Amino acid sequence: MSSAPTIHDAAAGRPDWDLDDPGLYLNRELTWLAFNRRVLAEAENEAIPLLERVKFVSIFDSNLDEFFMKRIGGLKQQVGAGMMTPTIDGRSPQQQLAECREFVCRALDERTAILRRLMALLAAEGISVKSYAELDEDSREAMREEYRESVLPLVTPLAIDEAHPFPFVSNLSVNLLLEVHDPVEADPHLVRIKTPSSSRMPRLMRIGESDHFVRLEEVITGNLDLLFPGAAILSAAEFRVTRNAIVERDEELANDLLEMIEAELRERRFAPVVRLEVSPDLRPQLRDHLIRELKFSGPDDIYEVHEMLGTRDLMQLAGLDRPDLKFPPHIPADHPRLARAKSIFDELDTNGPLLCKYPYQGFDRSVTRLLKEAVADPNVLAIKTTVYRTSEDSKIIPLLIQAVTQGKQVAVVVELQARFDEAANIRWANRLEEAGIHVAYGVVGYKTHTKAMLILRKLPSGKLHRYVHIGTGNYNSETARLYSDFGLMSSDTVVADDATELFNLMTSGSLSGRQYEELLVAPLQMKAALISRIRREIHLQREHGNGLIQLKTNALEDPDIVRHLYEATRAGVVVDLIIRDTCRFRPGIPGLSETASVISVIGRFLEHSRIYYFHNGGDEEYYIGSADLMSRNLESRVEALVPVRHQDLQAELREFLDLQLTDRCGAWEMDQHGEYHRRQSGPDDRHSQFTMIDLSSAAPASAN
């Protein structure tokens, strides 16, 4: 990452490092952009099937859209509010915006070049996105007829003149801006057309039965005479806007949280524009007109795109039925213990906790099965769970409703403020309440991010027994096929006691005074507990020379955690970090972080699991959960990390960590300057994710 700051030369190699030196801390936004660039680099990886490489371009673009909505939108708000306070890395909001733009422009140039190479490779395989103008006469006529019948009625041209104000432009929509001159008018006028693409109207129109396509906006442009018969089209260009997604209100002042979130969603539709993408053929006068009408800040927020606007829509190509150009289908394996177990409850009681590994093992055959058994078991009295993000066709929600109809107590903690899932969660919350389920919205001022389920069951003895599931990923069967996650199932009494206390926290809204014996819970205990364990490794390193910390998270952003990790490496503790995206820590600095390494694993599945390992002088500790090492997770969210105590489960986590740490196909390694380099692989090396597929498929049944 070329924009990373350099260390002050005067301090190089000194034992008395100033850990407040901004040069030691990488920037949150720039390191995230570096991650997205690594995603884009997968599109150039010749070891990956062609349509999978196209998918990575789509993911890159979708990620970038979200970055502008959330991170650039937030920085612009800070600038607008006059905030000049630098972050821990020494950058003001304005500096961050400038460096982000520079980074994005370079990445977009790379995307353009990569996309052109991919399109040439696709053409050789009989797949293409053609321009409307290059179609032969028969194809153009057939497409015109299909457009007339299936698309034209959905197209709504909106005039822009003195009598017609500039229309609302929705977020991420692809639009045409036309100059139209009707013979009966003295002067030309502007017209805006929104491309009517949706899940039911694909952005790419198929040419007959082939695997050749034309962009919908080009078909519209090629048939403007159907919309404006007799008029002259003086110019036609494309544009796309990205709006700020940060429109949060003060939750503590809201009378009704659900109404507040609904109001936020309404406001987000009309939020300020933070990015304007335009095609090169947009005349400068019309570009200026857009800037004025969109109340746009200026040229730094305009991006001229020489290829297709919104390349996230290339995911349509990745969905083509061409198995020869894709990864082999992945069918999750059964967890070996669950495959032979007649009852998950009995299995946990008899053989102890088990660890589920998604997507290598099936979500529906573990978590969904656990809930099905709970619903069907007359001895189950109550079910409590969290909902953060779940799929539209969720099996979890109907099962919870079914449990209520069978007389069981059901309580669900719904996080209404899960970014971009608010509308879905409002619908689920309303449906759950209508079914008679106790719905809670967590603690005021804190998002509920933990993924937990608690089941209460009466044993034949008459005693209540509890079963717990705590995971690193959402209760979402769709993402469980795409994300790499872990989930712990347990009937351990101490863990169950802690889980009961955790749900009491979330449903009562009361944080303070709660004690946990096993779980590390945010926002009040987790951060201090993690720092305590880092300091313990420092002490053990000084005493015995065997300090070792290994952390796998999506992000490492919290300055206090980074500072303590520097203290650990300065003392000689080995620190292995597997950080997917944002990472402030710099490894390999002489005299400070020589004993540290930072890698980022990119692959077929999105790395999403969080594992916290501390050697602890040989009395090893492993924790899993949904918390990243970000200030927001540690201080502003309800999170829980659960210890993995059983040796066989620890061995499974150790195997996974070792595979990733030694991965030479999917791992990128950070140098001391904060720049990432893809590890060099040999002919016998395999990606850790594919090794995990093999291991999960061949795993024998195990028991304590």
Catalytic site residue from 449, 608, 646, 687 = 449
Instruction: Tell me how far apart the alpha carbons of residues 507 and 649 are, in angstroms, rounded to a whole number.
Output: 31
Instruction: Tell me how far apart the alpha carbons of residues 555 and 667 are, in angstroms, rounded to a whole number.
Output: 16
Domain 336-514 in the same topology as domain 110-325: no
Instruction: Tell me how far apart the alpha carbons of residues 427 and 394 are, in angstroms, rounded to a whole number.
Output: 12
The pTM assigned to this predicted structure is 0.92
Query: pLDDT category, 271, cuts 50, 70, 90?
Result: confident
**CATH code assigned to 336-514:** 3.30.870.10
What pLDDT shows up at residue 269?
A: 56
Query: pLDDT category, 272, cuts 50, 70, 90?
Result: confident
189 a catalytic residue? no
Using alpha carbons, select from 589, 576, 574 the residue that is nearest to residue 663.
576
Question: Average pLDDT for residues 277-299, to the nearest whole number?
Answer: 89
Using alpha carbons, select from 609, 615, 681, 618 the residue that is nearest to residue 642.
609
Query: pLDDT category, 118, cuts 50, 70, 90?
Result: very high
What sign has the CA pseudo-torsion 130, 134, 138, 140?
positive
Question: Average pLDDT for residues 114-121, to the nearest whole number?
Answer: 97
Instruction: Tell me how far apart the alpha carbons of residues 194 and 616 are, in angstroms, rounded to a whole number.
Output: 60
Q: 């999506």: which residue's tokens?
A: 554
Q: Choose between 479 and 391: higher pLDDT.
A: 479
Residue-averaged pLDDT of the chain = 91
Using alpha carbons, select from 662, 610, 618 the residue that is nearest to residue 641.
610
64 Cβ contact partners less than 8 Å away, ≥ 6 residues apart = 36, 104, 107
What pLDDT shows up at residue 424?
A: 67
**CATH code assigned to 521-698:** 3.30.870.10
* 251-255, 264-268, 374-378, 677-681: least confidently modelled range: 251-255
pLDDT tens digits for range 441-462: 878 889 889 999 999 999 989 9
Both tokens of residue 644?
């993995």
Both tokens of residue 348?
């946990």
pLDDT tens digits for range 134-173: 999 999 999 999 999 999 999 999 999 877 889 999 999 9
Other Cβ atoms within 10 Å of 523 Cβ, number: 18
pLDDT tens digits for range 331-348: 999 999 999 999 999 999
Pick the CATH number of 110-325 from 3.40.50.1000, 3.30.1840.10, 3.40.50.10140, 3.30.420.40: 3.30.1840.10
Instruction: Tell me how far apart the alpha carbons of residues 249 and 237 are, in angstroms, rounded to a whole number.
Output: 37
Where along the chain do its domains lie? 110-325, 336-514, 521-698
